[in-house]
Amino acid sequence: MTTAAPARTSRLSHLVSTERVYRLGLAVAAAVLALVFAALITSLILLITGHGPISALHHMIDYGTQATQISAIINQATTYYLAAIAVAIGFRMNLFNIGVDGQYQLAAILAAAFGGTVALPPGLRQIGIIVVAMLVGSFWAGIVGVLKVTRGVSEVISTIMLNFVATGAIAFLIKPSNLGHLYGENLTTKPIPSSGQVGGISLIPGSDVKVYGLVFLAIGVGVGFQFLISRTRFGFDLRATGRSASAARASGVNVKKMIVVAMLLSGAVAGLVNMPELLGNAHNYSLSTPSGIGFTGIAIALLGRNNPVGIVFASLLWAFLDTSSNILQISNIPTSIVSITEGVVVLSAVVAFELVNRYALRRQQRKVGRELGLTTPDPGGPEAGGTGSEAVPA
Amino acid sequence: MLVAVSEPSTVAVAAAPAVELRGITKRYPGVVANHDINITVIRGHVHAIVGENGAGKSTLMKTLYGMHRPDEGEIAVNGEVVHLSSPGEAIRSGIGMVHQHFMLADNLTVAENIVLGDEPRRFGILDKRAARRRIAEISDAYGLGLRPDALVEELGVGDRQRVEIAKVLYRGAKILILDEPTAVLVPHEVDELFGNLRELKAEGLTVLFISHKLDEVLAVADEITVIRRGTTVATVDPKATTARQLAELMVGSELPVPELRESTVTDTVELSLRNLTVRAADGRTVLDGVTFDIHRGEIVGIGGVEGNGQAELVEVILGLHAVESGQILLGGEDIARWGTRRRRTSGIGYIPEDRHRQGLLLEAPLWENRVLGHQTEAPNVRGPLIDVSAARRDTERIVAEYDVRTPGIDVTAASLSGGNQQKLIVGREMSAHPRVLIASHPTRGVDVGAQAAIWDHLRTARAEGLAVLLISADLDELIGMSDTLHVILRGRLVAQVDPRSVTPSELGAAMTGVEGDDATAPAEPGPADSGPAESGPHLTKGGSS
């Protein structure tokens, strides 16, 4: 029995590694299908409203592939990517962090104020700003974790509430009597001097816009996330808790601690969301600092299936749609059509992924059944030698 | 290679058999399917179909009742090949099914329930008189003793079952499928049912009786077909067969017996509970001054009706539940305030009662499940990192050594059968070489082969000095596998019995707190856990899955 079994296992494990490739293919196919479906719906709406879908798409692609726009798309995607990773960390634990929006904005204003006022030597100053942002984001998200484990408050409720609190806090903080300065019509924090900035890189030749230097920070966060999740004990505990809190608990995971730590991590990454823009372009926090990226991050995390590589593609797609939609105004097409596209993409992607998941599980069960059906029916059991002889012809 | 060992009764039958299944194969998502099923059911017979849980009985009955089409093979009713693609067609062919779980409307009368969906009408409205007349005829003809005007909610379980049978007869069924009909009945109701079945037989009806209770099958059937791993393996005459032979046919090998040979109990106490008191969240005392020791090489069994503190006992030892007062000593060290992880890495292994809830990550591949619970131990980790390749290799080893039937270690735990999931868990826990193993219903819902293997592993580990806490609802397992046996009742250890001399009925009486030794478990149809008390092989396993 012990001699036959490994042979059987290794013979069949072949099938299964191709199985993994197959599942990846399925996932990609699901994403593509979702896109095609979203394109169809968008086209339909364009047609109904009397516009040509083909020419609209043509315009968008033409515009979106100009060097300057490519740089802008990369910059936008960098910001989205960080927000989506922040959301994905929560999702991997079954925590729905809707509060990324408040976390990153509060982090941005405090980090900007820190960078504008606290003089540190170059290098340290940038690091200091980033660390402050991460700490603020962590703190804001940590409240949610602590409330959840001590008082059983659902993180969905508390993150939404804390978003409002953050908005109010920012309005208070940006007052000229506090951290803000009035420059013309705009209220801003004190600008970060050039010794505290991170210069852009001319990644795309011929572009007027430089790519954020902190694009590498985003890449680092993605790599770090993947490493943490798939290679570390901590990541294993985190995923285990997300899959089954009861099983994780029985396996020795301190689930409460895990919830707090996951929220702290998610908040730290959320704190980074505005850093590429702050250190690379705006150099201050102002009323015009973009808001709402936290919510975009949720959609992108869903589309990218909480996977660091998937989220790269999802962020780029989102940034492309956002950026290139500007051109639609020239043909008198409302840019909000792109919001419809984005919404449909997420909805259909979620549905398609779920369908693929179920299909894959059923298929696997059937496969297990079939494989074993071939080897087990002989009534003497696997010891009877039938298995051994079956394993020979490959 | 796929020789079906089936021997359908080759006795030449004059009349066409009531039902003939020829080469039925049904592929199905999941592990068990039917293949090459051959059964011949003679008219006027009670034909029993027996097999373990998951052997494919239900799949077969669904095929016969038209709930799905077989992929191969044919069904002949009264000599004519039929294609049954819905229960409606099955009923038209004279096949009716009495389900294990009754499908009756409580707020309607017996008569209304029986005619429901097939009402006799006069001028478009229910003809109550005609209905009552037909039901009285059926009731008299088959001795069912129905009261047509009684409300179903007032009826006992046995009466409800007779209503179900009448429902099927009312629709003109000549062939009745009874799916585990005795599972919900107390002994005297079982006798009544068997009386009814004899009446049906006498009237020329044919009964297909599905069960895994062998004593009952031997008592009532004219012929018995055994199904194992999805196929028919033998058809036997109950008069010339013993329960044990039947059981061995079902299992395909000699039936495992839960028993321990020579004692391996040492003097070293490995786990000691001292006056342990535990409260539930609502303040109720769930464990009250529990004190016992487990020595190296000893299996300590805890018997009790479910819900008397066993679950809390397990959780408190693992640190999943807080201690109110008392001590838990592991090798002399008080661990009562330790976290779960520290306890587990200090050598407490755990086979959970509910493996889906506490033992597995169902959506994760097998190798990740091998790491679960041992996230801090070799070979799964190197420092703070998961050693994926070592963990995978070790999973391959467990799969081979513990005979986990799977095509590979990348399939998800959810796609394995219960027995194979359990073997993986046992392999995982044993691989950490624990000092103490908490085995909570270790063979619940697994097939007999896996059961034997799990018992073997427990015996081997015990011989190597493992201290085991065994909690089980299967009294035979409890008595056979324990060196020391305590009885728990309402959170207290109320008795210690000698597993070498106690009988299941004595143990059952102690568990329910009934004094005296001839008391039987209270006759309630709910938990079938108290188990049959007679001697002989029992395949009744606690719970059903």
Q: B29 CB near a chain A CB, below 8 Å?
A: yes
**pLDDT over threshold 80, residue B61:** yes
**pLDDT over threshold 50, residue B539:** no
CB atoms inside a 10 Å sphere around CB B154: 11
Query: For the segment A170-184, what is each residue's pLDDT rounded down to a tens digit?
Result: 999 988 888 888 887
> Rounded to an integer, what distance in angstroms lies between the CA atom of residue A94 and that of residue A80?
21
pLDDT band of A350, cuts 50, 70, 90: confident
Q: How many residues in total does chain B contain?
A: 545
Chain A residue numbers touching B401 (CB-CB < 8 A) = 2
CB atoms inside a 10 Å sphere around CB A190: 17
Residue among A12, A243, A377 minimizing CB distance to B361: A243
Q: A385 CB near a chain B CB, below 8 Å?
A: no
Residues 21-80 of A with CB under 8 A from B: none
pLDDT band of A227, cuts 50, 70, 90: very high
Tell me the Cα Rg of chain A: 25
Residue among A6, A369, A379 minimizing CB distance to B29: A369
Query: For the segment A61-70, what is each residue's pLDDT rounded down to a tens digit?
Result: 888 888 889 9
**Bridge partners for B47 per DSSP:** B208, B223
Residue among A17, A367, A377 minimizing CB distance to B230: A377
Chain B residue numbers touching A247 (CB-CB < 8 A) = 357-361, 372
**pLDDT over threshold 60, residue B530:** no
CB atoms inside a 10 Å sphere around CB A201: 14
Answer with the residue of higher pLDDT: B340 or B541: B340
- Over range A76-88, report the average pLDDT: 96
Residues 234-293 of A with CB under 8 A from B: 234-237, 239-240, 243-244, 246-254
Residue among A5, A368, A386 minimizing CB distance to B403: A5
Q: How far off is chain B from A27, nearest CA to CA, in Å?
A: 16
Cβ–Cβ below 8 Å for A365 and B414: yes
**pLDDT over threshold 50, residue A9:** no
pLDDT band of A335, cuts 50, 70, 90: confident
| Among the listed residues B32, B85, B96, B38, the one whose alpha carbon sits nearest the alpha carbon of residue B59 | B32
pLDDT score, position A216: 94
pLDDT score, position A384: 32
Q: B14 CB near a chain A CB, below 8 Å?
A: no
CB atoms inside a 10 Å sphere around CB A45: 15
Cβ–Cβ below 8 Å for B30 and A369: yes
Tokens of A282: 């705006």
pLDDT band of A387, cuts 50, 70, 90: very low
Query: For the segment B91-136, what is each residue's pLDDT rounded down to a tens digit?
Result: 888 898 887 777 888 888 888 888 887 777 777 777 788 888 888 8
**pLDDT over threshold 60, residue B542:** no
pLDDT band of B395, cuts 50, 70, 90: very high
Tokens of B211: 């069960």
Cβ–Cβ below 8 Å for B410 and A13: yes
> Rounded to an integer, what distance in angstroms lies between the CA atom of residue A198 and that of residue A220?
16
- Over range B482-500, report the average pLDDT: 90
> Rounded to an integer, what distance in angstroms lies between the CA atom of residue B350 and that of residue B360?
12
Chain A residue numbers touching B229 (CB-CB < 8 A) = 376-377, 379
Query: For the segment B412-429, what is each residue's pLDDT rounded down to a tens digit?
Result: 888 787 788 899 999 999
**pLDDT over threshold 80, residue B261:** no
Q: A373 CB near a chain B CB, below 8 Å?
A: yes
Cβ–Cβ below 8 Å for A233 and B386: yes
Q: CB within 8 A of B515, min separation 6: which ones?
A: none
pLDDT band of A264, cuts 50, 70, 90: very high
DSSP strand pairing (B175-179 vs B484-489): unpaired
- Over range B287-307, report the average pLDDT: 90
Residue among A233, A244, A375 minimizing CB distance to B385: A233
Cβ–Cβ below 8 Å for B341 and A253: yes
pLDDT band of B29, cuts 50, 70, 90: low
Residue A328: burial class (beta carbons within 10 Å; 0-12, 13-18, 19+): buried
Please give the angle made by the CA atoms of B223, B226 and B231, to the nearest 5 degrees: 130
**pLDDT over threshold 70, residue A392:** no
Alpha helix ranges (H) inside B40-98: 57-64, 87-92
Residues 305-364 of B with CB under 8 A from A: 318, 320, 339-345, 350, 352, 357-364
**pLDDT over threshold 60, residue B354:** yes
Q: B375 CB near a chain A CB, below 8 Å?
A: yes
Cβ–Cβ below 8 Å for A373 and B33: yes
Q: A393 CB near a chain B CB, below 8 Å?
A: no
- Over range A315-338, report the average pLDDT: 86
Q: How far off is chain A from B1, nearest CA to CA, in Å?
A: 7
Q: A368 CB near a chain B CB, below 8 Å?
A: yes
Chosen from B24, B251, B386, B395 to mutate, greatest number of chain A CBs within 10 A:
B386
CB atoms inside a 10 Å sphere around CB B492: 15
Segment of A5-9, B13-17, B226-230, B323-327 carrying the highest mean pLDDT? B323-327
| Among the listed residues A299, A312, A295, A306, the one whose alpha carbon sits nearest the alpha carbon of residue A357 | A306
| Among the listed residues B124, B101, B27, the one whose alpha carbon sits nearest the alpha carbon of residue B70 | B27
**pLDDT over threshold 80, residue B8:** no
Q: Which residues of B415-451 are buried (b: 16+ CB within 10 A; e: fewer)?
A: bbbbbbbbbbbbbbbbbbebbbbbbbbbbbbbbbbbb
Q: A388 CB near a chain B CB, below 8 Å?
A: no
pLDDT score, position B12: 42
> Rounded to an integer, what distance in angstroms lies between the CA atom of residue B191 and that of residue B509?
23
| Among the listed residues B438, B351, B434, B446, the one whose alpha carbon sits nearest the alpha carbon of residue B403 | B446
- Work out the percent of chain B whose per-residue pLDDT is above 90: 20
Chosen from B382, B395, B411 to mutate, greatest number of chain A CBs within 10 A:
B411
Q: Poorest-confidence range of A251-265, B181-195, B391-405, B483-497? A: B181-195
Q: B400 CB near a chain A CB, below 8 Å?
A: yes
Helix axes of A255-272 and A100-117: crossing angle, nearest 10 degrees: 60
For residue A311, the one-letter residue type is I
The answer to whether A337 and A69 have CB atoms below 8 angstroms apart is no
- Over range B436-451, report the average pLDDT: 84
pLDDT band of B531, cuts 50, 70, 90: very low
Residues 234-253 of B with CB under 8 A from A: 252-253
pLDDT score, position A55: 85
**pLDDT over threshold 50, residue A394:** no
Query: For the segment A110-152, what is each residue's pLDDT rounded down to a tens digit?
Result: 999 999 998 889 889 999 999 999 999 999 999 999 999 999 9
Residue that has been written with the tokens 């597993």 in this structure = B499
- Over range B362-390, report the average pLDDT: 88
**pLDDT over threshold 60, residue B446:** yes
The ipTM, to two decimals, is: 0.79
Q: How far off is chain A from B47, nearest CA to CA, in Å?
A: 23
Residue that has been written with the tokens 């086979």 in this structure = B351
DSSP strand pairing (A186-189 vs A180-183): antiparallel
pLDDT score, position B255: 64
Cβ–Cβ below 8 Å for A254 and B401: no
Q: How far apart are the first and last CA of chain A?
A: 19
**pLDDT over threshold 90, residue B545:** no
For CA atoms B145, B148, B150, B152, give the dihedral sign.
positive
Answer with the residue of higher pLDDT: B499 or B13: B499
> Rounded to an integer, what distance in angstroms lies between the CA atom of residue A278 and that of residue A114?
12
Chain A residue numbers touching B34 (CB-CB < 8 A) = none
**Bridge partners for B382 per DSSP:** B385
Q: How far off is chain A from B271, nearest CA to CA, in Å?
A: 19
Q: How far off is chain A from B126, nearest CA to CA, in Å?
A: 46
pLDDT score, position B296: 92
Cβ–Cβ below 8 Å for B231 and A6: no
